C-alpha cells in the first residue's frame, strides 16, 4: 500500500497565495439595475453587465482577484469596491460581450472595444461616467 487515501485532503501549513506578483487595481462598482448581477472569476471585467457603473477603462485587461470558479454578486442598488488582477497568459480575449475580440495589448483593439462599449450603452465609459465609479490608481 502506498498510504494514499482516495479523497483525502492534505492542506499546506501556509495559506495558498493566488495571483501572486500580478498587477492589481480596484474599482467601485454600482449596480444600477433592479436585479442581482453575478460576475465570475475569469470574466474580462471591462465587458461585464452594461448596467453596472464603474470605471470600465480602468478595468480593461483585468478580472476579479478571487479564486478560480468563484464569483462576486452585486445586489440592486449596491455600491462596492472590488480588487481586480491583470489577465495573464497570451492576454487574448474573445467572446464575453463581444467588445474586445483580440489581443488586450493592441491599442487599436482597445480603442475599438471602448467605442463598442459606448455605442452599446455600457455605463462607465467616458470622463463623466468614469468619475462616478472610478478610483485613483
Q: List the CATH number of the domain containing 29.
A: 2.10.150.10
Structural domain includes residue 81: yes
pLDDT over 60 at 133, yes or no: no
pLDDT of residue 1: 56
Burial class (CB within 10 angstroms; exposed 0-12, middle 13-18, buried 19+) of 48: buried
Q: Say which residues have a Cβ less than 8 Å from residue 40's Cβ, sequence separation at least 6.
A: 64, 70, 71
Q: Which domain range does residue 108 map to? A: 24-132
pTM over 0.95: no
Separation CA 32–CA 103 (nearest Å): 30
Average pLDDT over residues 38-50: 98
Average pLDDT over residues 12-28: 93
Structural domain includes residue 12: no
pLDDT of residue 136: 38
Amino acid at each position: 500500500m502506498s498510504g494514499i487515501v482516495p479523497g483525502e485532503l492534505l492542506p499546506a501549513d501556509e495559506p495558498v497565495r493566488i495571483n501572486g506578483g500580478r498587477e492589481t487595481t480596484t474599482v467601485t462598482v454600482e449596480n444600477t439595475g433592479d436585479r442581482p448581477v453575478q460576475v465570475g472569476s475569469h470574466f474580462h471585467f471591462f465587458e461585464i453587465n452594461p448596467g453596472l457603473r464603474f470605471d470600465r477603462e480602468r478595468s480593461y485587461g483585468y478580472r476579479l482577484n478571487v479564486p478560480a470558479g468563484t464569483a462576486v454578486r452585486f445586489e440592486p442598488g449596491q455600491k462596492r469596491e472590488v480588487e481586480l488582477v491583470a489577465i495573464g497568459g497570451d492576454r487574448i480575449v474573445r467572446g464575453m460581450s463581444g467588445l474586445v475580440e483580440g489581443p488586450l495589448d493592441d491599442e487599436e483593439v482597445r480603442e475599438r472595444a471602448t467605442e463598442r462599449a459606448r455605442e452599446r450603452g455600457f455605463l462607465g465609459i467616458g470622463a463623466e461616467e468614469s468619475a462616478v465609479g472610478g478610483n485613483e490608481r
